[in-house]
Amino acid sequence: MSLHITFRQLEIIACVAKQQSITHAAEFLHLSQPAVSMQIKQIESLIGMPLLEKNGKKFTLTQAGIIVKDYAEKMLASHNILEQQLAKLAGAEEGHLNLVVPETANQFVTLVLAQFSKLHPGISFHLEIHNREGLLESLKDLTTDLAIMGQAPLKLDLVTKAFMKNPLVIIAPPGHPLDGKQKISLHELMKNKFVVREPGSGTRIAMQRFFGEHGIQLKTSMEMPSNEAIKQAVAAGLGLGIISLHTLQQELALKQVIILQVEKMPIIRNWYLVHHKKKILSPAMVLFIQYVMKNTQEIWSSKYPELASFL
């Protein structure tokens, strides 16, 4: 018997066996249900035996199906090993990456880079800190490999991957009239002045959207170009501030600011890894993306366990 089963067909039969459903397998593989059924029928035609038998709403494998499924899983595992070995040969353990991040992400990004570099010392980095406009410019002109952003605009040809929650909290100076109060209503905040980021910043956009949805109009006393400036202004008593939890480790430890217990807060956003669709991903980029997606939350939470409950 001469079999010409394709690698894609092996992927399909392995997925159908795992999902026990052609419909669910089609969704997982981003294929239509008829396309999956057709591939199964082609394999059955090649081997001259059925692979599946219906059991209620689910499919179970025939004896021939089990043999083909076991072979498919071995081939897929071997393919993954091949990809890893070729990536290593192509220089995944060596290379240079250009990263751009907002000031808000700098603290946890440096933690991640430190851990990643211990595992992959052959990969070097150039790290730049930009505001939102600078991040978008570096992505559009392809001068950066990867960016970390709170939210990427849909109008650009970008690939985005969410890897960690980014809570926005309201901070005040110690001793503020709302210090220690539980369940502060959003309407109570309207009595206070706020120090905010400049128009166009990700934090400002998220703040305006959130309070707009709840019919709240905040009083803005001052606009600041950076998170550091906001934290200093709040600590000095110039107003309340809205800021990412990931920028507050030092100020909270030194008791320069406090986090207010506001109802419906924090505002939960996500951090995204972003690159342009035209960017060719090097093995080093793929390795770093995989590491960030898998480990960032754990690295930050283990470093700052007292703040992890907000995530």
Handedness of CA 28, 272, 116, 93 (dihedral sign): positive
**Hey, where are the domains in the chain?**
7-89, 95-164+271-310, 165-269
Q: What is the pLDDT of residues 23-54, one digit of tens each?
A: 888 888 888 899 999 999 999 998 999 999 88
Fold agreement (95-164+271-310, 165-269): yes
Q: Are 187 and 216 in contact (CB under 8 A)?
A: yes
pTM above 0.75, yes or no: no
Q: Assign domain 95-164+271-310 one CATH number from 1.10.3720.10, 3.40.50.10090, 3.30.470.10, 3.40.190.10.
A: 3.40.190.10
Q: Which two tokens stand for residue 95?
A: 């290379």
Q: What is the pLDDT of residues 110-133, one digit of tens each?
A: 999 999 999 888 889 999 998 888
Q: Are 95 and 282 in contact (CB under 8 A)?
A: yes
CATH number of 7-89: 1.10.10.10
Least reliable range by pLDDT among 39-48, 98-107, 145-154, 265-274? 145-154
E strand or H helix that includes residue 129: strand 123-129
**Superfamily of structural domain 165-269:** Periplasmic binding protein-like II (3.40.190.10)
Classified as helix, coil or strand, 186 is: helix
